[in-house]
Amino acid sequence: MALSHNLNLASQGTSLKALFSGYLIVVAVGYLMAVVQIQLTHGLADGEYGLSIDDIVYSYYGNRTNSMLENKLHGSMKPMATDEERDAIINWIHQGATEEAYEEQGIQDIFESKCIVCHNADGGGIPDYSEFQNIKDRALVDTGVTISALARVSHIHLFGIAFIFMFVGLIFSLAAGVPKPLKVVAISTPYVFLLVDIASWWLTKQNPNFAWLVIIAGGSMALSFAFMWIVSMYEMWILPRRGTDTRDALLDQ
């Protein structure tokens, strides 16, 4: 007599469960590292640890009361220089940020010893401070991330995160204990909010009032990821196996 095989997570063989679980664990760790990276970049935009609305505004719209260099020296780049070095750079900015003073007041030495090791032509998209004009441009009023940088980060996130959620959603689609309407909503939600998240960056660049949308969209993606991850791992390893045919049982021995 032929035995039916139910296509769900609980009934999969150990090898396939290990494959799915390995992927889910790695992307979960990657997600956590992304949260840490956000805290160490955007989360320090206002000079304090912890992501806030001001951090979002300063990152995308800018802190237009100061220059970008000054804001970075008070924020995410604060640990990279001593108090004396920061004060020297800020005083140079307030005096007009001229190239002559840059050389004569020792500002060039500070940049060469503390900044150019990362901010160079091979810096992977971050400003190249080996060129004075790039430093001069960032000694002007801080208007947040540039349009070119925003476009670059946007397309990277759209491609990369869409692939992550495709495979997470594919694994979750085999969950048997979730009603179909809820399953469709859970799988669709991260794609919707990914588009909203990217759009909110561009909107915040134009108007700081959209900063709330960045946090709402990012939080919604994280919740949908957590829901699909927990349900998938639960059905694979905790929920009793159902509908396993004889062939799978033998393979598991």
Per-residue model confidence as pLDDT tens digits over 171-208: 999 999 999 999 999 999 999 999 999 999 999 999 99
Domain locations along the chain: 9-42+145-252, 66-137
* pLDDT band, very low/low/confident/very high, at 40 (cuts 50, 70, 90): confident
- Taking 80 as the threshold, does the pLDDT of residue 240 lie above it? no
Interval 103-130 mean pLDDT: 87
Average pLDDT, the chain: 88
Q: 3-class secondary structure for the chain?
A: CCCCCCCCHHHCCHHHHHHHHHHHHHHHHHHHHHHHHHHHCHHHCCCCCCCCHHHHHHHHCCCCCCEHHHHHHHCCCHHHCCHHHHHHHHHHHHCCCCHHHHHHCCHHHHHHHHHCCCCCCCCCCCCCCCCHHHHHHCCCECCCCCHHHHHHHHHHHHHHHHHHHHHHHHHHCCCCCCCHHHHHHHHHHHHHHHHHHHHHHHHHHHCHHHHHHHHHHHHHHHHHHHHHHHHHHHHHHCCCCCCCCHHHHHHHC
